[in-house]
Structure 1
Amino acid sequence: MSAPRLVDRDPRIGADELVDAMVPPPMFDGVRFDTYVPSPDEPSQAAAVVACQEFAKRVAAPMAGKSWLRSLFSSGEPVAHDLPGLYLDGGFGVGKTHLLASIWHAVPGPKAYGTFVELTHLVGALGFHDTVARLSGHRLLAIDEFELDDPGDTMLVTRLLSELTAAGVFVTATSNTLPDKLGEGRFAADSFLREIQSLSAKFGVVRVDGPDYRHRGLPDAPDPMTDEELAASAAALPGSTLDDFDELCAHLATLHPSRYGRLVDGVSSVHLRGVHAAPDQDVALRLVAFGDRLYDRAVPVAVSGRPLSELFTEEMLRGGYRKKYLRAVSRLVALSRQSANSVGS
């Protein structure tokens, strides 16, 4: 009996369900500040833990959302420890999402956690004013993978965060790009400089340096399987799926990226036949979002064709989305190792 296919799934998420689902993904259910292990060679990591703990204490304090507003009106301009936002900047694989989820777990509700694309989709599903109404009573909004990839997102998020912080909501975010550099290399950021500066002014920046922990001392991506080995692996593992890579890419184009997580819910392992480099930027960015959702759920990935380390072309890796692609490779190679280890055992 052949394994089921992801391309046969058509996940649906209602508007109310979108709000209820704004919690850390399963992989980060159990993370806390004391489970983050800073590298002794990277002092910024230990400093980041302290900064995040202090921010969480501010958010959890009674009437916390009003304190930075009072500071603004009394002194003319808030200093870093009075700002409503904390922005974790650094390379991929240094534990920024771990720290973001730890902040979320450390503060009482109401609170919301989501990726940048999930937040923009929420606005699309509910409408701007309803989104503000539903989130403005929260203590905290945590945003993972914060990126501004087009002018529309820039305007939307600037306006949304202005409304929410004015209502006393604290915001914390992770990104591979400093807030005043968002959008750089992707669109004409200079045309939206005022909006980008307005957005960055709300965040105190905490730098998290270090090498990618997922690949410290580990080998490169596992060799791809043959098509026959891949099919046998999918058939042998309950809950696995088996898809043709090109068919899956076409299916992803029919779904909003906020539905990719639901697409792989309950899947124990993903098998992709005939993997090759993404043919264009649109496909590549969808694969980034899909890979992030697989990583959130710790779903192993096995492939035939080319290894997952070759998913993006050299030209793509030199472009404005370089950091996104490198993060995706880091995460997907880790998942392919996980699959190889499970097959070996």
Structure 2
Amino acid sequence: MTSTQSNGAVAEAYAALVARGVLTVDPAQREAVELLDDVLAGLAADKPKGLLGKLFDSKTEPVRGLYLHGEVGRGKTMLMDLFFAAAAIEGKRRVHFHEFMDEIHAGMAAFRKSEKGKDADPVEAVVKPILKSGLRLLCLDEMHVHDITNAMLLSRLFEKLFAGGVTVVTTSNVLPDQLYKDGLNRQLFLPFIALLKQHMTVAALPAAQDYRRLKFAGQHVYAFGTDASVRAEMDRLWLRITGGEPGVPGTVKSTGRSIAVPLTALGSARFGFADLCEKPLGSRDFVRIAHQFDSLIIDDVPQMDRSMSNAAKRFILLIDNLYDRGVKLGASFAVPLEELGKDDKTAFEFGRTVSRLIEMQSEDYLGQGLRDTATPVA
């Protein structure tokens, strides 16, 4: 390992978590931290060009990014959290890979319907405002290519982003060479893999343990009742999955608005039932939440009778999306699971929800990684 940064901002943030007992030092994570600090050092040294510079130099070589790959639960998302927070630059964005691609497709579709879209290049049209916004750093969570529409677009899209000087840092469960493996017309996808290797350092994260599995090992993730001991049990579970971090308020961006998150820490979020199911949220919002966090705690889930039909429908949608994604759930319920749904209008759907809730507390479910699901177009 050769690195110019031994005490960079990411290393300091990582060391602070270790000092507080939130993390145990992992050599593979430490190496990844150094590589992330190298990217930060490059960005700090690379001064953005002014207007005249951009006019006379249409192509800008970006600072070399990082492609960090490894199995689930190894800490990739946590390291991305530290990196993104430490990147003290304007023009940075972090987004789930599938969400980003959905935005690109939506922008291209809108452009094709416009008057200008008859003859012009739709990829150029969607990239131009991205570059004009001043984007310098694009952080993409969970790059995974299984859709032929994305596969055929990526090379042209990223060629323009890199040419515009955008540095890309991404996490993935697979090596670049395994992206779109056995996909239709994969030979047309190979230039994208070459492009990634040209502009990004490829690094593995072979961490010693599945940290996500350790968070929930041997834990009772549900509590029942309404007294103070139930809240205390959820407090203990929250501190268990966050490594003792109390958490801070956060937000989830969805369909042009922000969803308030009462507490977030280390890829986990804590909500009250009312925060999610008694507000005008829908399936798209719940998908966004499921992609942003790997673990959720929901406090104070009530028994839902006919007077709570709308809240019950949202709860059903929420659990469906968390289950499909493989998000780990801790929750406190006022009554046993079999007694949650007391509305005959939602009885059938609620039966499936209860079945999923039962499965979601099992060791088998808690030991699985997140599933790759696409996000809806905003």
Q: Residues 219-262 of structure 1, C-alpha deviation per residue, up to 9 Å, x if partnerless?
A: 3463767xxx58x79xx98931699xxxxxxx84x889458679
Q: 1:312 to 1:184 in 2, by over 3 A?
A: farther
Number of the residue aligned with 1:165: 162
Is structure 2 residue 79 aligned with structure 1 residue 99?
yes
Separation (CA, whole Å) in 2 of partners of 1:183 and 1:118: 18
Give the deviation of 1:308 after TM superposition. 1.4
Is structure 2 residue 359 aligned with structure 1 residue 307?
yes
Is structure 2 residue 132 aligned with structure 1 residue 152?
no
Number of the residue aligned with 1:181: 178
Number of the residue aligned with 2:98: 117
Give the deviation of 1:142 after TM superposition. 0.3
Is structure 2 residue 369 aligned with structure 1 residue 327?
yes
Q: Give the letter for the 1:219 counterpart.
A: A
CA contact (8 A) 1:223 1:307 kept: no
Separation (CA, whole Å) in 1 of partners of 2:188 and 2:149: 10
Matching residue within 127, 136, 139 for 1:132: 127
Bigger relative contact order, structure 1 or 2 (CA pairs below 8 A, ≥6 apart) = 1
Matching residue within 220, 244, 252 for 1:222: 220
Matching residue within 204, 208, 219 for 2:205: 208
Aligned length: 242
Give the deviation of 1:180 after TM superposition. 1.4
**Higher strand share goes to which structure?**
2
Matching residue within 193, 199, 214 for 1:197: 193
Q: 1:219 to 1:98 in 2, by over 3 A?
A: closer
Q: Give the letter for the 2:150 counterpart.
A: D
TM normalised by structure 2 equals 0.51
Number of the residue aligned with 2:111: none
Separation (CA, whole Å) in 2 of partners of 1:218 and 1:288: 16
CA contact (8 A) 2:325 2:370 kept: no
Number of the residue aligned with 1:12: none
Q: 1:151 to 1:300 in 2, by over 3 A?
A: same
Helix, strand or coil at the partner of 1:184? coil
Q: 1:217 to 1:85 in 2, by over 3 A?
A: closer
Q: Residues 53-91 of structure 1, C-alpha deviation per residue, up to 9 Å, x if partnerless?
A: 1111112223379xxxxxxx9xxxx9xxx8632011112
What percentage of residue pairs aligned between the two structures are identical?
Answer: 23
Give the deviation of 1:100 after TM superposition. 1.6
TM normalised by structure 1 equals 0.55
Separation (CA, whole Å) in 2 of partners of 1:121 and 1:270: 34
Separation (CA, whole Å) in 2 of partners of 1:285 and 1:85: 35
Matching residue within 70, 87, 90 for 2:67: 87
Note the 1:240-319 alignment, pairs <5 A.
240=273, 252=283, 257-258=287-288, 268-269=298-299, 287=322, 290=325, 300-301=330-331, 304=337, 305=355, 306-308=358-360
Matching residue within 36, 40, 56 for 1:56: 40
Is structure 2 residue 98 aligned with structure 1 residue 46?
no
Number of the residue aligned with 1:14: none
CA contact (8 A) 1:32 1:101 kept: no
Q: Give the letter for the 1:122 counterpart.
A: E
Helix, strand or coil at the partner of 2:95? strand
Separation (CA, whole Å) in 1 of partners of 2:145 and 2:302: 30
- Which of the pair has more CA radius of gyration? 2
| Aligned-residue RMSD, C-alpha | 4.5
5+ residue gaps, structure 1: 1-30, 66-72, 244-250, 274-283, 314-324, 330-345
Separation (CA, whole Å) in 2 of partners of 1:196 and 1:285: 34
Which has the larger displacement, 98-107 or 46-55?
A: 98-107
